[in-house]
Structure 1
């Protein structure tokens, strides 16, 4: 273990933006910024440090989560699984000796009777809750809160069965907000993104990919602070299909309107790298994100003064070109504060 008082000099790091050399002191298993360029340190760490690199859309039950840290991902949100299983992984990730990234969960997906993902094949029984009315919605939300959900996810997928009515969608969102949690939606099928937005969804689990959204809707979403999780690479896994082109066009215009984009991969859905996905980041760069907006999508845009127990590290300094930066981010690996003595 790193002893309290140990100091680390970092060549460059990210805290809502790029920061030059900083000295951190270890205390309680975390690193705290205490000095600048001229401060001496016990150990110098070349390269670039990130307090966290987050995949905002994974399904841990479909992958080996122990491989994520080595691939550079230090935090994940599991966007739908059997609540007892995802909660177990969340609890395991909090153990001091855990090799897992920090895990947040939504618990089970909420849908209408017969709605997605009840017939999907990928989701096991228990990974969804079918709700019929506002009372059911409140009970279902309370059950996810009880297992420690950090958000509530519901589905509006008219391409894979019935989608919730407007009344039910409003009720699910209202129950989530009453519990103090954001509502995340899987919106798929013509008109579903508009309906989900009107119901008050705070975050889209995927960049809308079923149709080209009109500019007015995109501007309204951006102005309302709606967040989109990118998940572009699932549309072809490197061989783009029609949905990739639709999603990329929507995302480009959403970004141009000032919309907030979060890096996410839908990890577990097809041949995706367990770790930082270069194809996903390259797709974001190709959609017009500049380097720092691209980095913020995965590293966050908030100021940070305390880091740990996990962090990510990349050799060297970030290239200025967005596509080159996307490749560079794939060299990141997850570390812990205690590993600094090794």
Structure 2
């Protein structure tokens, strides 16, 4: 194969595909990116870790069609260091790839394209479109709550499901057992028969990166075991997590009658300041609620104490409750608007946090003993 590509074009394409490739691989070919120069004039890039696969087509002048595979991270590092604005010539033959740009010349070992594994998508019977902006919001408002515990693998992703609630909606939820994040949006056309799916954390991270450069809509196609996102030049295909997501609706409190209305920014800043001295292990912050007065405090055996009053609208019985400050800050960071509602019951019951009853996102946070 032989092709010439603009350095910026090559670098952008490689930056998308190489991040899927794991740094340490027991199977050598999984460290590689597949490059295929097509007769129509274009260079196809593909990388996989056997669970996630990304395909991207970039513009190139093809002199000789062909395909090979080469180390993804090495090629990316070379492209990054080549002179800006240069034309990169790539030629592969006899188990070697030659890369030339300006006065620089590199020669890398290759592996045959026939050994490169491809995820077989099979039938993807459900397909619909989502605006890129909506998809970004779904990810940003839920992904911080994804569990990192490998033993509870079914929580290592975002759960998507449709329901009639009473209007047809698509819901995305994530939880790690300590907090829950859920976003609800109108069900897109075509998603009526969508199976319940859990999209893995790594797929979500790669998708979010790719969405930075997309303005229009993203095509979503899925089956009970695979999902594919069509982002124009790039196609992201992932296996889904094979497990059952717990019935999270049971932990969303409906009877919490103590309501605090508060400015999310002053609340967030107050929690952030007092938690400076919280111990790394517990990160506990105590919240004492009195009529229209909220006192945040932290007591650390090693570091001392901190307290700050934040204004808020609260008229119920005074009481104290403790939270993990990092979990609370993660949630507050996703809330916009001038005021938010914090629905409380007692010091041991889950707390509901949302902007208002019309907002698409809601959060549930388990308290901790302080």
| Shared fold per TM-score greater than 0.5 | no
Query: Of Structure 1 and Structure 2, which has the larger fraction of its residues in helix?
Result: 1
Query: Of Structure 1 and Structure 2, which has the larger fraction of its residues in strand?
Result: 2
Query: Which TM bucket (shorter chain)?
Result: under 0.3
